[in-house]
Structure 1
């Protein structure tokens, strides 16, 4: 019960890695409010953990929606200690052919959405004695991936936003760290593995011989908000099993 008594908000928490991180937090004694567009997708979790877990509609691109989510956590669970800015999207396309609409949508969700979430966290957490923020990047933030220009660039921006926010908020007792999964058998990683042509290329880059699991990413997410990591700040933690890329 490493997170007993703590309250967390997770954006993009109704599916994929966000949902698995939420389950890991609950298992560690944390109370969790999930924000997402499809809260029906976590109705089973809400029913299973009625005293520990709740959900709320969220548009991460809307600052008022983000603020309401964090305030709802304070109102429901009488506090706020952890914010995980997990919401994200990908719009595949090479630079020469990527539409402005897809580029803008990726940055609006991934970068602006993360900025709005972190900004709100830095407003709410000091009032509750500090806390922890996690942003979500990707191994692709620092590696060339043809056909993923918008995604790679947006994740690189998130990593620098994380470092700046960490320095600015450390004196308030807040840590801001970033998780950067490699190829994970969940969400976008699972879609990658389902494409035989693409997977033939990327599977060779896995030094561990397999994709990671969502539980392995969630374990890192638990560590970064627990007492054992309280002096880790502004760090980008790759969870990639040894990615030879």
Structure 2
């Protein structure tokens, strides 16, 4: 998965400036940076929820030139292989947990109902929600709802799971339940791209850290160097200190 010289503007604001990034398969790429830096715009470009004005996107044989119109067929092909998990779950409130998870496989992948139900139970077990198939989203805690959202993404058998600050709306205890699921997926070598403000988790889970600020890539490399006290970039050192409250006096 690769983006090359991606540019995106909103009105007069240049949100992404010639962004070039690779997202290695079987690894966890974590996007960090201050709010409004362009992290989520990068992530949503990978799922074509955001359409840049220029640049190229290469993914599993798909080549998209954003200077040209992108067809619905191309969008669907990308979205079949990139499972998206949002901050606010986006579950269907009128459907049970089981039906939320089977919706994609039956409607998009045209999978038979019995097979989809078996797959749904399998991924719900993976995220610790096996006993909640007949429950409705309104009956779930935030952490439970987010684990169902992850199960829904996994049910599509995506090559990459894309997660946009999946725990930022949760209290610490509920957040931990979701982070444990993501850590297990990382151990299984599920390819993931994750936007987060949780520096402790980023340090633990990331194979690769990308620091974004003002629509530009300031750092793209291994977490050890990013989090090192010897990192020569003072802006990054100050960012980490502020996010971990090391500079609180």
Normalising by the smaller structure, the TM-score range is 0.3 to 0.5
TM-score where L is the length of structure 1: 0.34
Structure number with larger C-alpha Rg: 2
Larger relative contact order, structure 1 or 2 (CA cutoff 8 Å, min sep 6): 2
Structure having the higher helix fraction is 1
Structure having the higher strand fraction is 2
TM-score where L is the length of structure 2: 0.33
